[in-house]
Amino acid sequence: MMAGVKRLLSFLLPALALFCLDGRAAPRAAECLIPSKPGGAMYLTCRLAQAALADSPGAPQLALRYLPGGVGAVAWHTLASRRRAEPDTLVAFSGGSILNLAQGKFGKASAADVRWVAAFGTDYGMIAVPANSPYGSLRDLVEALRRDPKRVVIGMSGTIGSQDWIKMALLVRQAGIDPRQMRFVALEGGGEQFVAMQAGHVQAVSGDTSEALLYAGAANVKVLAVLSERRLPGKLAGIPTAREQGYDVVWPVIRGVWMGPGVADADYLRWVAAFARMESSPGFARLREEAGLYPFSLTGDALRLHVERSIETYDRQARDFNLRRR
């Protein structure tokens, strides 16, 4: 009989270990999916969430997982269909993700297909070249493109119509250059862009400031311009804006997370509340700065409304550039 009891206990104890002392189930393992290859700003977004939640007592802990493909499309369709109701799975997004939605690059998907949880901060576009590049300013680079648009190969995340493409298109159009004459290489995420530039495959990168901070510190990257309203504080304080150099282009990039559409209200609101507490915690501003982001916090319905308004703006830009619409 004792042998039977032991076998029963060996079966039950692992299950009992899943419960806290007050009888409630212990938190499930939660994860933040990174919809790009390693090394880019999507990783930084999930990493910021992971680090900030770890500093918040009682908050869930995050594991980071990669799910690249289609510049975010694989992660979108995976969570919107096969994994639509997972209560503890988050996906990183950026302004580029919203732009892809606006242009129909996720098929027939719309902003209403997922649940928008939280935005942690804002990034800004930037233009960079290798440290030994002959181009010492944004004007130098644009003038080279004016002389011969095919002379400079530009690394971008995504294809024609992506946010990296539109940043450059806005810049060169102000110099009288047809954006479709640009020569570019489409890559999967910011990490690949800088790797390609370091290997000499591209001569410039259209990317984001958070990504540039990962590489500029190694003295192998020269940032020519930041696409912000005014100069940014911190490590990029010495970099002039595009406006200072005669090009009126500003490109903010919000960063945050969303969840599948079938997530129960209670689980969704639990995460919204967790991130709202996280963003108001004393140490969050420091972690956000370390991630290369600047203040911008929205959660729940406020974020959803912001996404919807952003899609309207991107719609207008798409029409302006005669980009293919769905």
pLDDT per residue as tens digits for the range 178-226: 998 999 998 876 678 888 898 899 999 999 998 888 776 556 889 999 9
**What percentage of the chain exceeds 70 in pLDDT?**
89
Question: How open is the CA angle 303-84-72, to the nearest 5 degrees?
Answer: 65
Q: Which fold has domain 30-122+253-320?
A: D-Maltodextrin-Binding Protein; domain 2 (3.40.190)
Question: 65, 31, 322, 37: which is closest to 169 by C-alpha?
Answer: 322
Q: Per-residue confidence at 25, pLDDT binned at 50, 70, 90?
A: very low
State the span(s) of the chain assigned CATH 3.40.190.150.
30-122+253-320
pLDDT per residue as tens digits for the range 85-119: 999 999 999 998 898 888 888 888 899 999 999 99
CATH architecture of 124-251: 3-Layer(aba) Sandwich (3.40)
Token duo for residue 257: 């997370």
State the span(s) of the chain assigned CATH 3.40.190.10.
124-251
Q: Which pLDDT belongs to residue 104? A: 84
> pTM of the prediction?
0.79
Q: Which pLDDT belongs to residue 23? A: 31
For residues 260-270, average pLDDT: 97
For residues 215-233, one letter each, b for 16 or more C-beta atoms within 10 angstroms of the residue's C-beta and e for the rest, the string is bbeeeebbbbbbbbeeebe
The least confident of 3-7, 227-231, 286-290 is: 3-7
**What percentage of the chain exceeds 90 in pLDDT?**
60
Q: Which pLDDT belongs to residue 326? A: 46
Tell me the average pLDDT of the chain: 86
**CB proximity list for 5: less than 8 A, separation 6 or greater:** none
What residues form DSSP beta bridges with 189?
none
pLDDT per residue as tens digits for the range 306-324: 999 999 988 888 788 877 5
